[in-house]
Chain A
Amino acid sequence: MADSVGRQVDSINHATEEDEKKQEIIRAKGEGKELTKEEKQRLRKEKKQHKKNKKDDRGPPEKEKEKASVPAPSKPATQSPAHKAAPVPVNASASESPVAAEKPAKSKAELRADRRARQDSERASKPGKKEVGQQSTSSKPKATPSELQPVKRLPEHVQVDDPAALKKLAKKLERQQVPLRSDYGYKVSLFSHLHQYSRKNPPTQQISIPVTAIHPSIVRLGLQYSQGIIAGSNARSVALLHAFKQVIQDYSTPPNEELSRDLVNKLSPYISFLSQCRPLSASMGNAIKYIKKEISNIPNQCKEEEAKRRLQECIDSYINEKIILASQAISKYAIEKISDGDVILVYGCSSLVNHILCEAFEKQRKFRVIVVDSRPRLEGREALRRLVKKGIRCTYVLISALSYILPEVSKVFLGAHALLANGYVMSRVGTSQIALVAKAYNVPVLVCCETYKFCERVQTDSFVSNELDDPDDLIVTRNGKTHLENWQTVKSLGLLNLVYDVTPPDFVDLVITDLGMIPCTSVPVVLRVKNVDQ
């Protein structure tokens, strides 16, 4: 945060932690975060320079006002940062040193150093005010979190209907040399705030060859995402982390730069590119946050090879802990819930649920599985193949036959894409329907989810934040006739291919996580515990 008068070194660290926490809170909302953080840091830096050049000895109350005005640009109104960014650089560039203008994202280390220097000088000039300053600043940390909470910025991918946000995104992408992907087809009016892309135009086609700004493994990853070759939140996160390992391996620090700062900047255009290919999932968002934190925590005196090795180890341990070991822990808990003679219903293809069922089968539990699938993705067939290969007895139906098949079912196991802070489960579209009908038939619903997918967002319906898949997927040819073939030409026809939906917590009986079995409403508790740990 900008304000630092009268703080001691540890409260500065505390402030940077707050800073980081605030960044994490904001980042946890989803995609396109780089803009926010960079914008924020740039703003803050420029404001500081601006004010430093004006007057060196300002009183604490004025610094407080300054601090209160800085959260203002990060309020949900997206126009204000655009406006503020415009006049502030104008003033600042006049007064700033050219070096500052060239480095738009100052690292925390530098900000820390700045603040320390200023604080030292002011402490020397104002010994009396120190006590007052300390008290007011000690009350400020309590004030800052509550001030921080409403200050979340809207992610870009839910502002497609706002032309100002689109222009800002276009400028940012141009700066990062990432191609902008254009929307496709008629969008249903309820979803005009979301993107809708066609699978036939991947953004990789618009990149010039040779690619200079984006690492080739990232390009490949982006293509795999946009074509649906890699799907499923665990698979996407693991692929992302492996690609980042490759990037780190190939990275070499340019002269006069620090690895901790520069690598983070290098990652920003990659992340923009990936979110253009397919909006980032909550698990990917958390993984990126983790990596960035690890990178920024690399001490400056660390050698490059050593730093790279350390980062690779961090990534490996993250994958191992959060995904592999977590799934083993979840299987252990879940297998307690599977008894002999059970008929278990699963929906779509969740890697975690498949893993649980395979483990339970190996442990000689006698059960049979009903796989429910839905158009247009038909992911259930993949789950069916895996389970049949193991030798588990399976039945396969489409989701419209759910009411027919549910009287036979004893338990429902569902996977999740993310667990939101208000207890709602965000998962593949159709999950809420299964939970609804299972509740009507009094069948218990168990959701299995690793803790790294927990997300600070809150959402009550499936409209405000979702992903629209290619509408052409709904077209089907039966008996030689394709009714929807020319749907684009028909003016009043729209096709809606949603990817996610949210399930209210009253439909879910239990959530099995690597921390244990919790009710849906305990998600914010877990998030808080995680934040405190970090």
Chain B
Amino acid sequence: MPGADKEMDLSERIESFLSELKRSGSGTGSLRGSAETARETTALLRKITAQARWGNAGELMEIIRKEGRRMTAAQPSETTVGNMVRRVLKIIREEYARSRGSSEETDQQESLHKLLTSGGSSEDNFRQHFPHLKANVIEAINELLTELEGTTDNISMQALEHIHSNEVIMTIGRSRTVEAFLKDAARKRKFHVIVAECAPFCQGHEMATSLCKEDIETTVIPDAAIFAVMSRVNKVIIGTQTVLANGGLRAVNGTHTLALAAKHHSTPLIVCAPMFKLSPQFPNEEDTFHKFVSPHEVLPFTEGEILSKVNAHCPVFDYVPPELITLFISNIGGNAPSYIYRLMSELYHPEDHEL
């Protein structure tokens, strides 16, 4: 039967997506960029909206929430998955509200006044059925997809506003956003880039070779030399894995040291991050914040005699507090870290912070 086929097809798609997420986190599979993950997640959610069985907005939100929980459980460090789920939930709420005719704004603000005066719960349990809801939601998700396609370009377009000629820019590891940012600026300006290689994965090497192809003067330095060369650096531009709700970062390890060195020399630290990386998490949960990979990257098995007697750690991420960051550049423009919490309220509904 066609319906059952579609359902099986859908669940297959979801399973394969989950297994890919699980594998990509270990660092051995193909490392996918966050943009790709975001796009695939959104495409998958669109498919769920189109093919799953649901009657009203509430049921759809339940389905999406359930799938979203499964996806985030598969790879908790990949926060873009959860972010996209929350975006879609917000889209559904908006479309529902628009179909009902009420304005979207009123539902958002959880002011004390509202709590006291309205008294009851947020009345709509999303139970009403609207025939065009599905089409509207899918259209809105398509818009979201187009937005995702254009994020890197939007960020790169702002490059010339921030890089002047003959600058020395420092970066760490490999970020596709920063790469595009620098390459765009290099078309019109001449500057130098210093890349910290970011052991043990040494992604800085890839970044350097890719920048050199555009004739950008690049220097690769080991992580230990970050503070030593920082005095000659004019700006630090980095990418990040996640932007946290307080304006802090969860970035590749070594970024905190870089940020501290930049602060010491009063060098501005600019973070290029598209909006889909903004996550409503706070850095409170110590045990879930860090992610570790196999310590053989740090101490290989060839050091056999001492391996058994030694603890070796290989954390992947670093927390950078918002005080060390000067500017966020995202596809909607530049923002100070203190403004991030407002941006969050535009992207996600407060009830969706916990999936």
Contacts and interface: CB of A to CB of B under 8 A. Distances in A.
Interface of A: 188, 190, 374-376, 381, 384-385, 388, 394-405, 428-430, 432-433, 436-437, 440, 461-463, 474, 476, 478, 483-484, 490-498, 501
A430 B230 CA distance: 12
Secondary structure dominating the interface of B: mixed
Contacts of B299: 381, 396
B10 to A, nearest CB: 34
Nearest to A466: B228
Nearest to A430: B224
B225 A496 contact: yes
B205 A483 contact: yes
Given A396-B299, A400-B223, A495-B220, A384 B306 contact: yes
30 contacts: A190-B229, A375-B222, A375-B223, A388-B306, A388-B309, A395-B310, A396-B298, A396-B299, A396-B310, A398-B199, A400-B257, A401-B253, A401-B254, A401-B315, A402-B256, A403-B256, A403-B257, A436-B261, A462-B229, A462-B231, A463-B232, A474-B197, A484-B205, A492-B216, A496-B219, A496-B220, A496-B225, A497-B222, A498-B225, A501-B225
A432 B223 CA distance: 12
Contact of A404 (B198, B201, B216, B290): B290
B260 A493 contact: no
Given A397-B312, A403-B256, A433-B257, 14 more contacts: A190-B229, A374-B222, A376-B222, A384-B306, A384-B310, A394-B309, A398-B298, A400-B198, A400-B199, A428-B224, A429-B224, A437-B260, A490-B209, A494-B219
A140 B351 CA distance: 85
Interface in B185-206: 197-202, 205-206
B222 A397 contact: no
B220 A484 contact: yes
A484 B209 contact: yes
A463 B225 CA distance: 11
Nearest to B208: A493
A390 to B, nearest CB: 11
A452 B209 CA distance: 44
Nearest to A372: B224
A533 B136 CA distance: 89
B313 A397 contact: yes
A398 B224 CA distance: 9
Dominant SS at the A interface?
mixed
A105 B197 CA distance: 50
The 4 closest A-B pairs by CB, nearest first: A430-B224, A400-B254, A403-B256, A374-B224
Contacts of A394: 309-311
B94 to A, nearest CB: 39
A468 to B, nearest CB: 11
Interface in B280-321: 290, 298-299, 303, 305-306, 309-315, 318-319
B226 interface: yes
Nearest to B221: A496
Contacts of A188: 219
A295 B312 CA distance: 51
A152 to B, nearest CB: 24
A436 B256 CA distance: 11
A388 B231 CA distance: 37
Nearest to B299: A396
Contacts of B254: 399-401
Interface in B148-201: 197-201
A476 B205 contact: yes
A190 B168 CA distance: 11
Contacts of B310: 384, 388, 394-396
A496 B219 CA distance: 7
B208 A403 contact: no
Interface string B210-239: 001001111111111111110110000000
Given A403-B257, A474-B197, A494-B218, A398 B232 contact: no
Contacts of A437: 256-257, 260
Interface string B252-264: 0110110011001
A50 to B, nearest CB: 47
Contacts of A493: 208-209, 212, 218-220
Nearest to A394: B310
Nearest to A497: B222
B220 A398 contact: no
Contacts of B220: 474, 484, 493-496
Contacts of B209: 483-484, 490, 493
Nearest to A186: B219
A394 B307 CA distance: 10
Contacts of A484: 205, 208-209, 220
B312 A395 contact: yes
A483 B207 CA distance: 9
B200 A398 contact: yes
A200 B264 CA distance: 38
A190 B229 CA distance: 10
A498 B261 contact: no
